[in-house]
Structure 1
Amino acid sequence: MRGGVVVVILAAMVVVAFGLPPRNLTDPEVNPGCEECEEPWLIVTTGEGTNDTLHHLWGAKEALSFLVVTGTGGPNISVDWDALHNGTNRSITFQSQPSSVFGFVIPSLILYNDPKDDGAFKGQNESLRVPVSDFTWSAEVLPNSSHHVAVKLQTTHFQDTPLPNETRILMQVSAYGEDGRSSVLPHLLYTPNSAQLDLVLDHLMLNLTEEANSWKKTRWGMDVVVFSSENKVEGEDGDQGLKFHTQKSLDDEHTPGVFNLDQLTNAGAWAEGEGGGYLQWRPVSYLSSDRDIAKATVPNLNTSLPALVNLTEPLRKSLAYAVMGDNLTLSGVAVTSVISFGQYKDGFYAAEKYTTWTVAIGEGVPPKETFSTLVVVVISLGVVLPAAMFLVGCVVLAVRRWRHHGSSASILITPE
């Protein structure tokens, strides 16, 4: 029995040992080289690996943008700030041509009335898009290390009017230089090639139009554009380079009550080839700061994923266009979707006035959920212990029968 447990623990240690090689992360720079930028237009942190360099680019000006850029060049990037402000093609360049670019953009939030209590946004007539550019943002670099850096983004104004203290959009964006699991529910896995975005809509009760202010059953959603520089798999027909799928699990050890893991991956990731990229999240949205499953709803993704056709003004001024340029509209490069927060009888947004969405973005193949060492040991004990008890019982019975047989034979051959 002890030998079985030792084998399980050693196997778990081998799995850890063969994780991705670590990266050393640079301190995040907010608007590097721009003296006139008051808002966090561009935040950069770089992970230096053994064979390549990984750039994390984040921004909260005009449109929320989150990119992972992989290349073999050094850590330096060049920004033409005038071109970036004007929405000029490829205003951000790198020391060498990136081998892979993956990311997503949130150009606007969606407030929608849901009188049928469907939960998801389905193109309801009573809806209003709120551009991200209507908000003013601040950035705070949090204490960091060579294997973990984080930046907190937060709204301060809406349409140039200060927001009440409790009204805000809060995001903590983290990059990692080693394998592990987030300490915050839903405890997503992370790798040296990934970052994590934790979004909170806290008391987001805005004074919008008179019609929108009259809606009684409102929910929040947001437009999302997901893009990748790699749009095909060799030998595949068509240009469907981004796919959604759900990974099921029998274990909810790390995220109580949630047994699925949703993923949006590009061609390289779902084919487990080189140059892949992914978004990965648990289908749970907490409705309170303590993140109790008793108060939770779900993020609903529109999985039809129509291709991006037109570049709107927010997209032209986003980091996606600054890096990708007009390639964003090439076939299979970018798709559009809507993520909305809600499910039947969750009380709508007004019930708790708090909604979260936590998503990981990374380069390569997304990490796969497996049983932890503790769970494996417990399962192994559940199998080994009964088997050992059964074996010991069989041995005891065999010994007793042998002794009984031996004593009976002795009695038969004893002389009178």
Structure 2
Amino acid sequence: MMKRLVVILAIIISTGHADRKLNFKYNPGCTSECSNLLKLAYVRAEGDNDTVHYLFDFTMKPSLVVVTSVKDSVVAIDYEKLKTKGPDNTISFSNVPIYVFGTVLNYLYEFNDINDTACLSNNSDIIGMDFKRFNNWNLTKLQNEEDFVQVTISANSYRSVGINKTGNVSVTLKVFGKEDKGFAFPHLVHTPESGEITLTLDHLKTANPKSRFAVEILTLSSYPYNFSEKITKKTFSDDSASGGVFSSILVNAIGEDFEEGGGYLTWKPVVFKAPDTHALNASSTAQYSIQSHSNAVDWISTPLFNLFGNELFNTQSYLMKATNVSFGETGDEFYLKSNYLYWTFLVGVGAPPNDSLGFFEISIIASLLLLLTITMILVFCIFMRWISSKRNSIIYGQ
């Protein structure tokens, strides 16, 4: 019985992704002031056999590019070419990447939800705000440890033709060296091959009292996962750490033979309307169909153009898609009620994480199994003692 218990616990604990050692650099290889050329937060996640590179760029549109490579591959940035010729082909690796998956925050939409449908596609009164036109994205918070890196960027105004807004818009990237659940709601399960991104709108000026917001996200997937992309909704019976959210959305890139294991986005259909991310402050998200998106103007404003240059527009090599996510649900009194919005999603490569048991739940199960084992041993001992006593009574007539 004890041997079986040890085997069960070993299987539970060993299931998961191998840990990675994290290393952070801002504008790697820059020897002087480079922020007028590039704003790149770089995280190197080194494993036993390979390396995952996270390129979080906020020079224009906030973007996260996840690159897998052989273990000793090194990123290089040509700052001189950036300065004299432009961004194309200015980011490279010493070894050709094995796989590249990119995610771009392209547009923030404000829509006037007069009929309270909480549906972007039901509205024609829409204001589109290009993320690259938020004024002066700046690095406002950095936490750098061997197994955890957090980077927050912020902008406090938006100005373009006919649009003038104030308020704080921030994007936070978290990269973890170990597989676990996030420590803040909605407690997404992350792996060492995924980054957690949070978009926050704080007192962003609205055009209408019934305004809601939505975001357009672009994705790019390289060979061999460049055949198609699908969106699915997964439900599960229990998730003790997620405040009653029993489903998740998965967008993942698929290979020509419908094999999975490429890049993905995943999130739970919940958005929080207060800094206290409690279930009482939660509302819903709505997700929309995936569309092809080859608009060169959008892609040039991302680090993917720095990496691939004009080759980026060879549609046979790269899968380029877009999807929208809107925030809020019917009856939640719109964005203006709290003037706050907090939404988190994962960007990763490989097998998407499952909402499996965390360390806390494993500890409880292990304790219960151990308690059950001890109880059974005690019951067995008491039973054998009782049998021995009955046998003696029969033999000696007592």
Same-fold call, TM > 0.5? yes
What amino acid is aligned across from residue 48 of structure 1 in structure 2?
E
Between 368-377 and 176-185, the greater mean CA deviation after superposition? 368-377
- Provide the rounded CA distance (Å) in 2 between the counterparts of 1:299 and 1:376: 31
Label 1:86 to 1:383 Cα distance change in 2 as closer, same or farther (>3 A).
same
Residue 232 and residue 196 in structure 1: after superposition, are their counterparts in 2 closer, same or farther (change >3 A)? closer
Greater Cα shift, 43-52 or 113-122: 43-52
Shift of 1:56: 0.9
Deviations 1:334-357, CA, capped at 9 Å, x for gaps: 111111101111111111111111
Query: Residue 218 of structure 1 corresponds to which residue in structure 2?
Result: 211
- Give the aligned partner of residue 236 of structure 1: none
Extract unaligned runs of 5+ from structure 2: none
Given candidates 253, 257, 265, the residue that maps to 2:240 is 253
Partner letter of residue 217 of structure 1? K
By how many angstroms is 1:319 displaced? 1.3
Range that drifts further, 195-204 or 70-79? 70-79
> Which residue identity does 1:319 align to in structure 2?
P
CA distance in structure 2 between the aligned counterparts of 1:82 and 1:372, rounded to whole angstroms: 47
Whichever residue aligns with residue 50 of structure 1, its letter is D
Q: Distance in 1 between the 2:213 and 2:49 partners?
A: 42
Alpha-carbon shift at residue 300 of structure 1 (Å): 1.8
Work out whether 1:310 is the aligned partner of 2:295.
Answer: yes
Query: Given the two structures, how large is their TM-score scaled by the length of structure 1?
Result: 0.79
Q: Deviations over 1:56-83 (max 9, x none)?
A: 1112233121110112252232235655
How many residues in Structure 1 have an aligned counterpart in Structure 2? Answer: 390
Is 1:157 aligned to 2:157, yes or no? yes
Spell out, residue by residue over 1:241-297, the C-alpha distance to the aligned partner (whole angstroms, 9 max, x if none). Answer: x22122322222121111112221112698345xx2221222211111010111111
CA shift for structure 1 position 299: 2.3
Letter in 2 for 1:174: K
Deviation at 1:329, TM superposition (A): 5.7
Structure 1 residues 81 and 306: alpha-carbon distance in aligned structure 2, compared to 1, 3 A threshold: farther
Determine the structure 1 residue equivalent to 2:144: 144
More strand by share: 2
Residues 300-325 of structure 1, C-alpha deviation per residue, up to 9 Å, x if partnerless?
A: 221x21111332x2321211222244
1:12-411 maps to which residues of 2 (within 5 A)? Answer: 12-15=12-15, 19-29=17-27, 32=30, 35=33, 37-38=35-36, 41-72=39-70, 74-79=73-78, 83=82, 89-122=88-121, 124-136=123-135, 137-159=137-159, 167-206=167-206, 213=207, 215-230=208-223, 232=225, 239-240=227-228, 242-267=229-254, 271-273=259-261, 276-302=262-288, 304-311=289-296, 313-325=297-309, 326-328=311-313, 330=315, 333-372=319-358, 374-375=360-361, 381=368
Cα offset for 1:399?
Answer: 6.2
Amino acid of the residue matched to residue 202 of structure 1?
A: D
Q: Distance in 2 between matches of 1:329 and 1:305?
A: 20
* Cα 1:101–1:255 shift into 2, 3 Å: same
Residue identity matched to 2:146: S
Asked whether the equivalents of residues 170 and 200 of structure 2 are also in contact (C-alpha less than 8 Å), the reply is yes
The question of whether the paired residues in 1 share the 8 Å contact of 2:270 and 2:285 is answered with: yes
Alignment partners' CA distance in 2, 1:351 and 1:184 = 23
CA distance in 2 between partners of 1:162 and 1:33 (Å): 37
> Corresponding residue for 1:210?
none
Q: Report deviation, 1:113.
A: 0.9
When the two chains are superposed, the root-mean-square deviation of aligned CA atoms in Å is: 3.8
**Contact 2:134–2:155, Cα closer than 8 Å, also in 1:** yes
C-alpha distance in structure 1 between counterparts of 2:301 and 2:247, whole Å: 35
Q: Distance in 1 between matches of 2:156 and 2:114?
A: 31
* Kept after mapping to 1: 8 A contact 2:200/2:341: yes
The separation in 2 between residues aligned to 1:112 and 1:84, in whole angstroms, is 39
- In 2 relative to 1, CA 203–379 (structure 1 residues): closer, same or farther, beyond 3 Å? same
SS at match of 1:266: strand
Identity %: 24
The Cα shift of 1:358 comes to: 0.8
- Give yes or no for contact 2:30–2:79 (8 Å, CA) kept in 1: no
Question: C-alpha displacement at 1:48, in angstroms?
Answer: 2.6
User: For 2:47 and 2:348, how far apart are their aligned partners in 1?
Assistant: 15
The TM-score with structure 2 as length reference comes to: 0.83
Aligned-partner Cα distance in 2 for 1:31–1:109: 32
Matched to 2:293, the amino acid is L
Looking at structure 2, the residues matched to 169 and 307 of structure 1 have their Cα atoms a distance apart, in angstroms, of 27
- Which one-letter code corresponds to 2:292 in the other structure? A
Structure 1 SS opposite 2:220 = strand
Distance in 2 of aligned mates of 1:31 and 1:140: 21
Distance 1:288 1:62, change over 3 A: same
Distance 1:284 1:337 in 2: 17
Distance change (3 Å), C-alpha of 1:375 and 1:175: closer
Return the alpha-carbon distance in structure 2 between the equivalents of residues 288 and 31 of structure 1: 39
The question of whether the paired residues in 2 share the 8 Å contact of 1:85 and 1:317 is answered with: no
Aligned to 2:330, what secondary structure does the other structure show? coil
1:90 Cα deviation after fit: 3.0
1:137-185, Cα deviation, whole Å (9 max, x unpaired): 1113513112222211001332299976xx2011221222232332222
Asked which structure has the greater CA Rg, the reply is 1
CA contact (8 A) 2:28 2:76 kept: no
- After TM superposition, give the deviation of residue 24 of structure 1 in Å: 3.5
- Which stretch shows the higher mean deviation, 375-384 or 148-157? 375-384
